[in-house]
Structure formats: structure tokens, C-alpha cells
Chains A and B, each alone.
Chain A
């Protein structure tokens, strides 16, 4: 099952990238995520591993994931090593006017789970979808707020 959503953020692509590539900031915008711990020597970049959990229904699901694509500042993708089968992708593209289109994709399932797996994926989809949308809105709010603060700081510095 794949869930996708996107949002236009009023900030340059590099500013959005700096937030999504930083594992320490994940919990501040990723809705439904209860754990995102570095589980490798390198905290970020290609090959970095994280132990993540995501609350859906009566359980927190997730497991160990690894970053399999890290093309700054456009593509950030991960795949699961243990736990739920999942692939996730941040896709960042420049828009006119210094804006950025941010897309988040989550594909999940359990191989071999048969009919119950098929059903569980679909029952979970609205909740996962809500979390994906919420994540994008929270990310946009954080990035745009930081832009505003930077502009304000520059204005204050210029006025002095």
C-alpha cells in the first residue's frame, strides 16, 4: 500500500532539505512517529540507519530502516531492514519564486501476510494518510517560520 501527499513550501529547497536530513529534528514534524533513533556510526547520509516507530491503531510499528538514497537536496529515501516492510521517500523540487514542492511517499505492508495483511494495509491507510498530510503541514510550518525569523533578524540587523 502506498500513501503519497505533497505541499508547496515558501522556502528554498536547501532550507527544507537541511531539516529533513537532520535526524534530530524528525520528531518535531513527523506526525505519528514516536521514535527515530540513530542506529549507525554515521548519523546522517547514505547508509545511515535509524530505529523508528510509528503509532498506528493499537500498536507502534516500524523497525530498523536504512537510508538508500541521499541526493542532496532533492531525494531522500529509506527502506526497512527489520519490522514492517516499508519504503519512504522525500522528493523535493524547486518551484518558481524560491518555493519548494515537497512530496512524502510511504509504502508499507507485510510480505506473506495474505488476506489479513491486505485488509490491515487498507484499514490503516486513512490513518497513515492523515499522518503524512499532517507531517507535511508541520514541516512547512517549521520551515516557513524559520524563514520568517531569519528575515526578521536581518531586518533588525539592518535597522541598527
Chain B
């Protein structure tokens, strides 16, 4: 197994294409095995494919032309319902913080993005942070035209300081692959970086609570142990290797795409939170985190209470 330094993940978030992931200073255990070399090659290839965040890649005309397609998917397949968009300030930067569901097909992101783009118009700059791997996969470069940038503190700051609305899913891959029976649970896995980001940038947080995504397949396990065993966390920044029952694979390991079941997706946008107005000039990060989780969990419980049947909604 490669002796990569696990204390360096933050440096890998810089997303500098062409920078090899294996640090020359990393101690090497003599002659690395074939498997170890292959992993390093893969990690290097992924790293090289991660595009440098260029906010200018977002293309409003392209988004506008694609809206009918995503509106069709959102309206017919997922019977999407997005409430409370009026809670998002009409102008200025805002950090939209969502709970993430539905595996790698991210149906909730699609439903929300369509609704937000039609509500405020494609003229309003709107970016979404995504996992490195998503942006490095071949065939997904169109996501960048939608305003998707690799998740890193730098990119997030850049987007907010440009005055845009930024959607983040603190739970990321950890939350999106939670088992279906934990579908109605907000689980950010203790990730609090977004709170520091909101404070640094002095932007309000608008919680976005979604339900239904975890019913688009039968998610069985995150496969965290398997991911650790295969060193995916070090090579691909993947803490999970999810296993689910989904179409068309039946047993889906890794979730490199599947056909989501047509589960009804309902999304509630909550009123904005001005952190310094609510928690004082120097807010306690843990207190804010706890408050936000509680708020979002309450909203998710209310949405869950409205649902009568799985998938149908």
C-alpha cells in the first residue's frame, strides 16, 4: 500500500491541474508494489483532471437552454416541489447549506437548481460545490457550465466574494450515501468548515432541506471500511464505497451512476440566518453547527410527516 501522507488532504484541495499527488518528500518504502504504483497513477490522473476553478465557466445561456430538459425531469420524474425560495435574499452573496441525498445521481441538487434558476433567473450567479471526483469524471464537463466548482475553501470564498449564491452540502459523500433507512436524518458528519466560511465572508446562511432523494435507490451501506481498505480516502478523497440496490445494476458497488427511482422530491428553503446577528460578534462554531442541524432536522421531520408512502411521496 502506498505510504501517502494522510495529513495532507487540505493541500490537495488546491486543485492545481498538473500537480502530481505524490509528494516527493513523502517517504517511500523502497520499491513500491505494482498495486501501489497503479493507485498513485490513478490519483495523479484524477488530480490532473480536476479543473482549475474558473467562475467564468458558468454559462447563463447554456443553463437557460438546458432548463426545459431539467424541468421535464424535475417535474415529471421527481414531481419536484420547492418551497420557500422567497427566503433567499433577492440580491447579494448567500451560502445555501443543504442536506444531501440520492447517491451520486444527486436528484435533489437538480430539482433545487432548476427551481432556483427559474425563480431568480439565470442572470443571478449561482455556484455549487462538488466532489473532486465528480468534476474529474469524463463526460461531466457540462457541470462546470452550470456553475459547479470543485469543493475547496478557496473556491467557495472566490464564489461568495464575487457576490454569488453558493450551494454547499457539508455532508458530501458521507451523507449522500447514508442507508435508505437513515434517509430522514440530517448528517453532516461533523463538518463545520462552511460556518467559518460564512463568518469570513460575512454572508447569511440559508438552510435547504430536502426529502425523497434517499428513496431513489435502496442504499445499503456507505462501505467506509471497504473504502479505507482500498485507500480510496487517500487516493480519491473518497471516504465511502457505497453499496446499494439500484437500476439497472441491481447490486451497485461504488455508484458510478444508476437510474434513480421516480421518488417525489420535496425541498424546503428556510429563512436566512445572519450568524453575527444571532450568535454575537464572535459566534461559537459548535453552537452554530448544533443550532443549524437542529433547525434542519426539525424541518426534515415535518417534511417526513407529510409523506405517506416511500417513493410515491
Contacts and interface: CB of A to CB of B under 8 A. Distances in A.
B79 interface: yes
Main secondary structure of the interface of B (DSSP, over half): helix
B72 A60 contact: no
Contacts of B81: 58
A9 to B, nearest CB: 32
B68 A58 contact: no
B98 to A, nearest CB: 16
- Of the candidates B64, B69, B72, B118, the one having the most CB atoms from chain A within 10 angstroms of its own CB is B118
B71 A60 contact: no
Contact of B121 (A83, A110, A112): A83
A63 B74 contact: no
Contacts of A113: 64-69
Interface residues of B, number: 25
Contacts of A83: 118, 121
Interface string B180-198: 0000000000000000000
Contact of A59 (B61, B64, B66, B119): B119
Interface stretch (A10-18, A114-122, A141-149, A150-158): A114-122
B78 interface: yes
A61 B69 contact: no
A60 B118 CA distance: 6
B72 A116 contact: yes
A112 B61 CA distance: 9
Nearest 4 pairs of A and B residues by beta carbon: A57-B75, A58-B80, A120-B68, A116-B69
Interface of A: 53, 56-64, 82-84, 110, 112-114, 116-117, 119-121, 123
